[in-house]
Chain A
Amino acid sequence: MTKICLYFQVHQPFRLSSFNYFSRGSEYFNEAKNKAIFNKVADKCYIPTTRKLIELVRAHPEFKVSFSFSGLLMEQALKYRPEVIEVYRELYNTGNMDILNETYYHSLAYLISDEEFKEQVRIHRNLIKDIFGHRALIFRNTEAMLSNDMAQKVENMGYKGIVGEGWDKILGWRSPNYIYQPNGSDIKLLLRNYRLSDDIGFRFSTPDWREYPLTADKYALWLASTQGQTINLFLDYETFGEHQWKETGIFDFLEYLPKEVAKYPHLKWAKISELVDMESKDRVDVPQILSWADIDRDLSAWLGNKMQDCAFRNMKELGPLILKSEDKELIDIWRKLQTSDHFYYMCTKWFADGDIHKYFNTYMNPYEAYSNYMNILNNLKEKLGLNPVKSKAV
């Protein structure tokens, strides 16, 4: 028996307003843009894909899915498009949908402090309880960050499993299709099969891929011929309708998948929390933080260049003062500035080499992203009575 876990990550950041060096405003987040993008993605992906999943679950009662929503995604849904919450609730109420916890702010809070990390997880847990009445057993850190230490902390917070990338460097000769435990704790590692996941997420509509076009029957055959306890297909939800447009046939693929998988009796759909009942095969060592990003699978998409490190450090340094203020609105702004996307926009590692096709950005380039972030941070600092970041020559 091989389980198949289909899990989707859903997130939208609060994109920043455009700030000049000397801007005086306090509207840090671009309401109009965030609303427009949210509605666009809701129409192309969230609503149609979730409706499709509801149909599929009704037609195939054995079909199960799992979801992780950032708090910011839910906040924007509540604000701009409550219908999105409605369809997710409807899917949840079928009983075939599982939900994970993560940091509410889709943040790098783990790198700020334990207290900040735990607090943002607590806020997320309450949100999921409020909206779905669900208590999550599985945790996923932002961008699937994972390390031995992190796993231990997450176990101590009461979680039974943590999501990670099934990356060759930690697995060595071992397959991602088994349950493992990290060094130092007994929490179960749920590792992504990145090859089979990326076949859908990235390669699906690539005409020069030798498997193009990917059909549900072919894919089900691949699943059926894969050895292991579980095949973890972890995908960005926007794969459906946004990264892969409707015209690529991605919805047809999804539609036929349960039917094709049903042809193989040894394959069984599972919710992500059902995986932790299985026995661990081995220990895996993850001394450094692993992520699911690009070819490096580390933190270098968010931190590492001078701009990213400086922006993160300056944001982090504001923490004690802001938290002491107990000003809820201010704390919320500070946490929204922790969202990983802001730091990703400052990434130069593909951009500087001119390989801008690999690069998705709401800004024209990483320098604009950094300047804008720093202009906002300076504005915030001035409001707090602190000295803004400046060269000393003045």
Chain B
Amino acid sequence: MRVLMVGWEFPPYVSGGLGTHTYELTRKMPHDVNITFFMPDRGEVSVPWMDIKRIKTSIGFGPYMTFGGSVLKESIIKSVEDYAKEVGKTAKQTDFDIVHCHDWLTVMGGICAKRENGKPLVFTVHSTEYDRSIGNPCPWVMDIERYGINEADGIIAVSKRIKEQIIEKYGADPGKIRVVYNAIDSSSFDCGLKFKPTEDLILSLGRLTLHKGIDHLLRAAKIVIEHHPSAKFVIAGKGDKFKDLVEMSIDLGIEKNVFFLGYVPQEDITKLYARADVFLMPSVFEPFGITALEAMAAGTPTIISKTSGVCEVTNNVFKIDFWDTEKMASRILEILNYKELFEEMSNNCRSEAKRITWDDIAMQTKDFYESVLR
């Protein structure tokens, strides 16, 4: 089977989970699936398991920016349209049986490739504009998503939540959707048996946007610090709420215990997982939340919000409501203070992460390709 995969980012050019997803998915795909991978040209990139075609366009932004102002809008529409047009042209000279694209930035390209070659389209929805904007979506992005959802012959949703949402908010035909979760290459994060660290470090990781719920984390942090003054909250990532959140930590009087690291390179993130006592993902909405699996693979007791996709596939974690800052604080204090809890969670979440593999996900994806082709 020959697959044309339309991507947006790929290691080393990664700003979100999309790059990791397409990397692991293509790497673990069974050998009888031949993939040609398209991505916007950002520089040299190559892997041994597939051809990567760099498509020339005028692209200069990541996949998860929030949009405002018409100037920016014009340039983004132009980039997306440019990329789609170029993907279509290159696809015409490529042999494939099925085209697979990811999220709104690539779906136009997917549609062009489908049109040019008359092959079926698979569309993976990793997140939706409706969520990223917390119910205040940018209408033209939603239009693109809706267009893709209608045009696709098969849709992969990365969680049941996403599936329900694209049915409800985008009118998707439930019959053509399948849920295929994300997974983890746990060997990259597993540093062996973990003992409880002594730093009392609570780690959170992700873009500092409204939907990551870092404001709830800070309110919980205030309670934690009252009971456990040595607690340190380390927040890695950048985003448009950076300034607001720093100011909020000052207003709460906890700025001495809260560390905003900004952008942190991958190798340092791996070290942070290993050092942390607790990993916290308080997202208001998280389509999947692969960082929780990474922390689990490192043996770090993990707290995730119930409104995350990863919540659907994990057991050995604490699950909380993102707004319930008291419960959030309590769970953090419990892991910090109950050594036996730390040890059991650490051991068991590490083994659980090992069982959530990309091999399974790649098999499920291949299986879905076959059912779409049938």
Interface residues, chain A, CB within 8 Å of chain B?
A: 20-22, 305-307, 309-310, 348, 351-352, 354, 356, 364-368, 370-371, 374-375, 389-391, 393-394
**Can you name 5 A-B residue pairings with CB atoms under 8 Å?**
A22-B223, A22-B329, A306-B344, A352-B315, A356-B315
B331 within 8 A of A: yes
Which partner residue on chain B sits nearest A392 by CB separation? B198
A307 to B318, CA, bound (A): 15
A351 to B347, CA, bound (A): 13
Report A-chain residues with C-beta under 8 Å of the C-beta of B89.
none
A352 to B198, Cβ gap below 8 A? Answer: no
Closest chain-B Cβ to A277's Cβ sits at a distance in Å of 48
Report A-chain residues with C-beta under 8 Å of the C-beta of B336.
391, 393
Q: A21-B334, A367-B318, A394-B228 are in contact. Are A306 and B343 (CB under 8 A)?
A: yes
Render B304-344 as a binary contact track against A, CB cut-off 8 A, 1 for contact: 00000000000111110000001101110110111111011
Which partner residue on chain B sits nearest A353 by CB separation? B351
Interface residues, chain B, CB within 8 Å of chain A?
A: 196, 198, 200, 223, 227-230, 315-319, 326-327, 329-331, 333-334, 336-341, 343-345, 347-348, 351-352, 355
Closest chain-B Cβ to A314's Cβ sits at a distance in Å of 10
Most buried by A among B327, B337, B352: B337
B333 to A22, Cβ gap below 8 A? Answer: yes
Which partner residue on chain A sits nearest B199 by CB separation? A393
B351 to A394, Cβ gap below 8 A? Answer: no
Closest chain-B Cβ to A231's Cβ sits at a distance in Å of 39
Closest chain-A Cβ to B112's Cβ sits at a distance in Å of 42
B334 to A352, Cβ gap below 8 A? Answer: no
A348 to B230, Cβ gap below 8 A? Answer: no
A21 to B224, CA, bound (A): 10
Given A22-B223, A367-B344, output 6 extra A-B contacts at Cβ < 8 Å: A21-B334, A22-B330, A356-B315, A365-B315, A367-B318, A371-B338
Report A-chain residues with C-beta under 8 Å of the C-beta of B345.
367
B315 to A393, Cβ gap below 8 A? Answer: no
Report A-chain residues with C-beta under 8 Å of the C-beta of B340.
306-307, 309-310, 370
A305 to B343, CA, bound (A): 10
Report A-chain residues with C-beta under 8 Å of the C-beta of B196.
391
A389 to B339, CA, bound (A): 9
A390 to B229, CA, bound (A): 13
A310 to B334, CA, bound (A): 14
Most buried by B among A21, A309, A375: A21
A255 to B245, CA, bound (A): 67
Interface of chain B, main secondary structure: helix
Q: A20-B327, A393-B198 are in contact. Are A366 and B339 (CB under 8 A)?
A: no
Q: A20-B330, A366-B344, A374-B334 are in contact. Are A393 and B200 (CB under 8 A)?
A: yes
A291 to B329, CA, bound (A): 39
Report B-chain residues with C-beta under 8 Å of the C-beta of A389.
337-338
A352 to B316, Cβ gap below 8 A? Answer: yes
Which partner residue on chain A sits nearest B332 by CB separation? A21
Report A-chain residues with C-beta under 8 Å of the C-beta of B327.
20
B230 to A394, Cβ gap below 8 A? Answer: yes
A374 to B316, CA, bound (A): 18
B343 to A375, Cβ gap below 8 A? Answer: no
Which partner residue on chain B sits nearest A371 by CB separation? B334
A309 to B223, CA, bound (A): 29
Report B-chain residues with C-beta under 8 Å of the C-beta of A307.
338, 340-341, 344
A69 to B77, CA, bound (A): 72
A374 to B339, CA, bound (A): 12
Report A-chain residues with C-beta under 8 Å of the C-beta of B317.
365
B333 to A305, Cβ gap below 8 A? Answer: no
Report B-chain residues with C-beta under 8 Å of the C-beta of A310.
338-340
Closest chain-A Cβ to B342's Cβ sits at a distance in Å of 9
Closest chain-A Cβ to B265's Cβ sits at a distance in Å of 29
Report A-chain residues with C-beta under 8 Å of the C-beta of B326.
20
B348 to A348, Cβ gap below 8 A? Answer: yes
Report A-chain residues with C-beta under 8 Å of the C-beta of B223.
22
A351 to B351, CA, bound (A): 12
Closest chain-A Cβ to B229's Cβ sits at a distance in Å of 7
A352 to B351, CA, bound (A): 8
Report A-chain residues with C-beta under 8 Å of the C-beta of B347.
352
Residue in A352, A366, A391 whose beta carbon sits within 8 Å of that of B352 in the complex: A352
Report A-chain residues with C-beta under 8 Å of the C-beta of B200.
391, 393
Report A-chain residues with C-beta under 8 Å of the C-beta of B198.
393
Closest chain-A Cβ to B163's Cβ sits at a distance in Å of 22
Closest chain-B Cβ to A75's Cβ sits at a distance in Å of 30
Report B-chain residues with C-beta under 8 Å of the C-beta of A374.
334, 338, 341
Residue in B316, B319, B337 whose beta carbon sits within 8 Å of that of A21 in the complex: B337
Report A-chain residues with C-beta under 8 Å of the C-beta of B334.
21, 371, 374-375
Which partner residue on chain A sits nearest B229 by CB separation? A394
Most buried by A among B229, B317, B333, B343: B333
Query: 9 closest A-B pairs (Cβ-Cβ)?
Result: A20-B330, A306-B340, A21-B333, A310-B340, A352-B348, A371-B334, A21-B330, A390-B337, A391-B337
B316 to A365, Cβ gap below 8 A? Answer: yes
Residue in B316, B331, B348 whose beta carbon sits within 8 Å of that of A371 in the complex: B331
A370 to B315, Cβ gap below 8 A? Answer: no
Q: A307-B344, A310-B340 are in contact. Are A354 and B330 (CB under 8 A)?
A: no
A368 to B228, CA, bound (A): 20
Closest chain-B Cβ to A99's Cβ sits at a distance in Å of 39
Which partner residue on chain B sits nearest A346 by CB separation? B344
Closest chain-B Cβ to A391's Cβ sits at a distance in Å of 5
A121 to B208, CA, bound (A): 59
Report A-chain residues with C-beta under 8 Å of the C-beta of B337.
21, 389-391
Report B-chain residues with C-beta under 8 Å of the C-beta of A393.
198, 200, 230, 336
Which partner residue on chain A sits nearest B228 by CB separation? A394
A366 to B200, CA, bound (A): 23
Which partner residue on chain A sits nearest B319 by CB separation? A364
Closest chain-A Cβ to B349's Cβ sits at a distance in Å of 9
Q: A20-B326, A374-B334, A375-B330 are in contact. Are A367 and B230 (CB under 8 A)?
A: no
Report B-chain residues with C-beta under 8 Å of the C-beta of A306.
340, 343-344
Which partner residue on chain A sits nearest B336 by CB separation? A391
B341 to A371, Cβ gap below 8 A? Answer: yes
Closest chain-A Cβ to B111's Cβ sits at a distance in Å of 39
Closest chain-B Cβ to A372's Cβ sits at a distance in Å of 9
A22 to B336, CA, bound (A): 13
Closest chain-A Cβ to B330's Cβ sits at a distance in Å of 4
Closest chain-A Cβ to B333's Cβ sits at a distance in Å of 4
A305 to B319, CA, bound (A): 21
Closest chain-A Cβ to B335's Cβ sits at a distance in Å of 9
A219 to B336, CA, bound (A): 55
A305 to B342, CA, bound (A): 12
A99 to B318, CA, bound (A): 42
